[in-house]
Amino acid sequence: MKDMHLAELNVGRLLAPTDDPRVADFMNNLDRINGLGKRMPGFVWMMEGSGEPGTGNTDAKIGGDPQYVSNLTVWENVETLEKFVWGTIHKQFYARRAEWFEVLGKMHFVMWWVPKGHQPTLEEALARLDHLREHGDSDHAFGWAHLKQATRWRNDGCQPIAAE
């Protein structure tokens, strides 16, 4: 896949509005974790939010729901995304997701290959997630298990909860 990069979308619905104390620890660390990701070797692009400190992509509402938030990024390859997700402090925040997010009861994470230089839209990414939900892993939309070169998620990943 030398002419391709790996795109990923992760969506979730916060348990409370972004200014609620119940999600404060998550909101207060968004810039820190996103900033770390942007400095990682292999990082290519991230869908940006409003630019306001501490808001991440929370203004990119899904279905008009201000608590339904997303993270959309592009990476050079599987290994660099895995290193960020499972080999940095990001893993500690991922492990705490049940404190801040509702259990959606369906897949909330999808990956797919994009041509180098392509910046996917949220609409494109949501269509990939819908495809994964309807058809399971395929070359069009997939999870970690579909990628033979993905190894860290098997060993370093957090225990799954509910619908993962």
Does residue 15 have a pLDDT over 70? yes
Any idea what DSSP says for residue 15? S
Average pLDDT over residues 119-124: 94
Separation of alpha carbons 41 and 46, rounded Å:
14
The pLDDT of 30-45, averaged and rounded, is: 94
Q: Is the dihedral of CA 26, 96, 11, 62 positive or negative?
A: negative
Q: If you average pLDDT over residues 114-134, what whole number do you get?
A: 96
Across the range 48-66, mean pLDDT stands at 64
Residue-range domains of the chain with CATH: 4-157 (3.30.70.100)
Q: What is the pLDDT of residue 7?
A: 98
pLDDT, mean of residues 125-148? 94
Instruction: State residue 23's pLDDT score.
Output: 95
Mean pLDDT, residues 16-35 taken together? 92
25 pLDDT more than 60: yes
- Nearest Cα to Cα of residue 42 among 101, 15, 82, 91: 82
pTM listed for this prediction: 0.87
Q: How many Å apart are CA 68 and CA 85, to the nearest integer?
A: 21
Of 3-7, 63-67, 75-79, 112-116, least confident by mean pLDDT is 63-67
Residue 115 CA: distances (Å) to CA of 84, 98, 127, 163:
21, 34, 17, 30
What's the confidence (pLDDT) of residue 1?
66
Q: How many Å is the maximal CA-CA distance in the chain?
A: 45
